[in-house]
Chain A
C-alpha cells in the first residue's frame, strides 16, 4: 500500500506557522520574565532586610511563572519542529544525552523552588538551606538556557560547542536573552510588586532589573554577529529601542517618577525588547539556512478543518480564561 499524498507537507501555510511560533515564543519569554521577577524578589528577601516581603505571594508568582514558562514553551517547540524539523532533530541528536538532561533540569529547578518556600516557612525567614534551594533553581534555569542555545547554534553551524563556548559565543548569545527577560521581569515587578512587599512599595530591584536588562540588551544588539545579518536591521532597531526604553523606565522608577507612567514605559520596553529578540532570532536563522532550506517554500497541504478545530478550542479557551479571571477579580474584591 502506498500513500496518495505527501505526509511531509506542511499542514498550514508556513506564514501562519511562523506567526504562531513568534507569538508563542513571546508568551514563553514573558512567563520566564515572571519567574525571573519571583527569583530576584526572593533573593532580595533572602539577602536583604528580613520580613519586608510577603514571601507567599512572591513564591506564588515564581511557581506560576515556572510552570507557565514550561507550558508556554511547548507550542514554540511544536512549531519549530514542524518548520525546521530536519535541522532541529539533527542538532538534538548531535547533542544526545545533554539535550535530554533538560527534562531533569526542569524538574530539579521546580522542586527546588518549592523546597525553598518550605524552608522559608520552617525557619520563619531566610536560611542557608533556602538560599541553597534558590541557587539550585537559578542553576537549573541557566543550564536549560545554555542547552537550548547549544542546540540552536548547532542547528546553524558545524563549529563544535566547546569552541563556541571558548570563543564566548554562547555566553554572548545568552546576554541578549538574559537582558530582555531581566528587563521584562522589572515590568512584572512593577505590576505585582506592591502586593509582594509588606510596606506596599514596588521593589527597588525592578529599577535595577530594567536598567541592567536594558543595558545588556543594548550591548547585545550592538555587538552580536547578528548585526551583520542583512535582514536583521528592523530587529536590531527594536532591540536598541527596547533596551533604551528599559533604561529610561528604570531611571524613572529610581527617581520615583509616577509609578503608572514608569510601569507603562517598562511594559512597552519589555514587549519591544522581546519582539526584537524573537524577530532577530528567526530572521537570522532564515538567512543562515537560506542556501540549504527555506521553510516558506515547502509543499503545503492545509488541514483547514483541523485549523478550525484549533481556532474553536482557542476561542473557547480564551473565553474560559476570561471567566476565570472575572471570578478571581470578584474573589479578590
Chain B
C-alpha cells in the first residue's frame, strides 16, 4: 500500500519466504538443540571418563560452528530481507512493536556466538569444569534466543490483548507462545540427536561399535518427539478456533501437512526410544540421512501449517496477508481503493487510467502476494473457465466463500475495474467459446 511492489516471478513470494524460513528454522533450531546436547553429553562423558564421546563432541561442535554461526545468522537476516521485499508492512510492524525483543535476542545471540567460539577454540586449554560451564552458557543463550523469537512469531497468530492495548508483554507472551516454545524445543533437541547420528557416520575413523555407542548416547534427544501429539493439541487449544479448524480438516493441504509432520515426528521419537535407546541398535549413514530428511520435511510441514492457519491474516485480526489492515479495508470499502492513494499509482490520478489499468493496480496491491498471473498459485488457470459474472461474484464474496481469503478492499467501481483486468487474463480460445464479455453460453 505505502510501498512499491516486488514481484519475484513465477515462484511466487510465499515460496521465496518459505525457502529462506525453512533453511533458517532448521539451522537455528539445530543450534539450540546441539547447544543443549553438547554440554549435557560432555558432563556425562566426564563423569564416566568416556574419551570416545569427548573426542566426538569436539568434532560435533566444529560442525555446529560451521553450520550455525554464519548460515544460521545470515538466513535469519535473510528472512528480514525477503519479508521486507514482499511484505514490508508486516516486518515494519513486527520490528517496531518488538524492537526491544529483537535487541534482547541479539544480545543473547552475541553471547551464544562468543561462548560457542570459546567452547570450540579453547577445548584443550580450559579446565574440564569451566569448559562445561562455557557450554551451558552457550546452551542457555541459544535457548533464550529461541524463547524471544518464538514470542514474536506466535504473536502473529495470537496477538491477544495487544489488539486493544498495544502492550508489548501481552503481545509477546501470548496464548500460543508457551506450547509453541515446547514444540520448538522438542524439535531442536531432535535435530541435534539426528545430526549426532549423521556426524558420527561421517567419521570414517570410528569403528562400528564406537559409532553405535555415540548414536545411542545421542538418541536420548530424539525421544521427546513422542510428545508431539499432546503438545500440538495444547497448541491448537490455545489457537483461535478458526485457525485450528483449518489445520484439522478445513483446508485439505494444511491437514495433510499437519498430519505428516505430527506422525513422522512421533514415529521417529518412538523408533529412537525402542530401537536406539532400549535395544542399542545403530543406524548407518544412509538411514541417518533418511531420518534427518524426514525430520526436515516434518519441520517444513509444521512451519507451513503455522504460516497457513493464520490466513487470511499475517497478524491475526489486525493485518491481512495482502498487507492491508482491517481498518484500511473498511475505509476502502467505504471510500474506494484509490482514495487511499496507494504508492503503485506513483502520484497519478485514478481518473487518468483505463479501468483495466486501475484493475491491474488493485491486483498488484491486493492479490499479487499470493497469486502470480502464471506460476505460483496462478490466477490465470484459476479463472480460466469462469464467466465474468462468476469473477465478480467470487471476488465480492471472497472472504465468505473461502475463509482463508481476505475481503476485497474497494467499492463497486473498484470491483468492476478488477473484474475488467482479470477478464483480460482468460485465453483467446475461451473468448471464442464464450464471447468477448464472457456472458455467452458455450457453443
Q: Which residues of A contact B (CB under 8 A)?
A: 1-12, 17, 20, 60, 64, 66-68, 70-75, 77-79, 81-82, 85-86, 88-90, 92-94, 96-97, 99-100, 102-103, 106-107, 110-111, 114, 301, 303, 305-307, 309-310, 313-314, 317, 320-321, 324, 327-328, 331-332
Count contacts on B: residues with CB < 8 A to the other chain: 66
Given contacts A11-B100, A67-B73, 4 further A-B contacts (CB under 8 A): A89-B92, A90-B3, A306-B169, A331-B122
B376 in the interface (beta carbon within 8 A): no
Q: Contact: B70 with A306, CB < 8 Å?
A: no
Q: Mark B407-437, 1 if CB is under 8 A from A, else 0.
A: 0000000000000000000000000000000
Given known contacts A81-B91, A320-B111, A324-B114, A71 and B73 CB-to-CB distance under 8 angstroms: yes
List chain B residues, Cβ under 8 A from A10.
96
B128 in the interface (beta carbon within 8 A): no
B95 in the interface (beta carbon within 8 A): yes
List chain B residues, Cβ under 8 A from A324.
114-115, 118, 134, 137
A47 to B70 Cα, complex, angstroms: 28
B36 in the interface (beta carbon within 8 A): no
Point out the residue from A75, A86, A320 that lies within 8 Å of B137, measured CB to CB.
A320
Q: Contact: B6 with A96, CB < 8 Å?
A: yes
Q: Contact: B326 with A2, CB < 8 Å?
A: yes
5 contacts between A and B (CB under 8 A): A77-B77, A82-B96, A306-B98, A310-B104, A317-B110
Q: Contact: B168 with A303, CB < 8 Å?
A: yes
CB distance from B322 to the nearest CB of A (A): 15
List chain B residues, Cβ under 8 A from A77.
77, 80
B389 in the interface (beta carbon within 8 A): no
A78 to B94 Cα, complex, angstroms: 11
Q: Contact: B66 with A82, CB < 8 Å?
A: no
Q: Contact: A89 with B74, CB < 8 Å?
A: no
A70 to B165 Cα, complex, angstroms: 35
Q: Contact: A1 with B81, CB < 8 Å?
A: no
Which of B82-90, B180-188, B222-230, B275-283 is the interface stretch? B82-90
A107 to B134 Cα, complex, angstroms: 27
Q: Mark B114-137, 1 if CB is under 8 A from A, else 0.
A: 110110011001100010001001
List chain A residues, Cβ under 8 A from B66.
114
Point out the residue from A6, A107, A307, A320 that lies within 8 Å of B100, measured CB to CB.
A307
Q: Contact: B126 with A331, CB < 8 Å?
A: yes
Given known contacts A301-B166, A317-B107, A327-B130, A106 and B70 CB-to-CB distance under 8 angstroms: yes
List chain B residues, Cβ under 8 A from A70.
70, 73-74, 77
List chain A residues, Cβ under 8 A from B75.
103
A64 to B65 Cα, complex, angstroms: 11
Q: Contact: B88 with A89, CB < 8 Å?
A: yes
List chain A residues, Cβ under 8 A from B109.
71, 74
Given known contacts A85-B88, A100-B81, A305-B168, A310 and B163 CB-to-CB distance under 8 angstroms: no
Q: Contact: B70 with A317, CB < 8 Å?
A: no
